[in-house]
Amino acid sequence: MAKLYFKYGAMGCSKTAQALITKFNYEERGMKVLLMKPSVDNRDGATVIKSRIGLTSDAVTVPQTQDLYELYKEKYSDCDVVIVDECQFLTPDQVDELGDIVIDYNIPVLCFGLATDFLTHLFPGSRRLFEIAESISEIKSVCRCGVKATVNARMDDAGNIVYSGEQVVLGGNDRYVAMCRKCWLKKKKEQEAKGLFV
Ligand SMILES: [Zn+2]
């Protein structure tokens, strides 16, 4: 039976590369893949997904207002597999719609993305994936200290970690670094001691 998959990991854990490799593997077996990426600014259309190691692929951008079940039914029902990159930006309803595609069309839907935001809280879409996905797996990455990274720290231009702000910053040039929670909290104390705004 087909499943809804949630493959999550921290920033820089090669999620996008794995999404693109998974697409390639299905295509090699003659299967047609619908690759999509949620758009937080509600633009739709075509986009190119790039991984840091150089893999790229065309993808369909889906606004958060798009019913994904209807989209699949109307335009992409010839696809044998659905792969979503940056799935943390799906709405909970869209996750349910993907789950309905799995059941009604008996095809696998694989979602790659972050579990938590820069303040260690779950994204709403990721929470829904934890609740209903039939398969959940972690793509691991490592903090600079050698321990498993679990926090997606947001950095400002000066290289300081930001400890407040909106969950999603539109058009922001924020940088994110995966760290363990111990290092993240240590850095917070150091910044506070230096009187840096946190
Ligand atoms: Zn660490």
Mean pLDDT by 10 residues, the chain (198 residues): 96 92 97 95 82 91 96 98 97 98 98 97 98 97 95 92 88 82 96 83
CB of 58 closer than 8 Å to CB of 45: no
The Å distance, Cα 8 to ligand 1 centre, comes to 19
Nearest to 46 by CA among 30, 31, 35, 32: 35
**Is 144 within the bounds of a domain?**
no
Q: Letter for the amino acid at 112?
A: F
The alpha-carbon radius of gyration of the chain (Å, integer) is 18
Same domain membership, residue 175 and residue 101: no
Q: 167 lies in which domain range?
A: 151-193
Q: How many domains does the chain have?
A: 2
Residue with tokens 């719609």: 97
Is 86 catalytic? The answer is: yes
The Å distance, Cα 181 to ligand 1 centre, comes to 7
Q: Which of 109, 138, 167 is the C-terminal boundary of a domain?
A: 138
What distance in Å separates the CA atoms of residue 161 and residue 177, rounded to the nearest whole number?
A: 9
**Is 143 within the bounds of a domain?**
no
**Is 145 within the bounds of a domain?**
no
Same domain membership, residue 156 and residue 129: no
Same domain membership, residue 175 and residue 108: no
Catalytic residue among 27, 70, 74, 86: 86
* pLDDT score for 172: 63
**Is 48 within the bounds of a domain?**
yes
- Report the CATH number at residue 89: 3.40.50.300
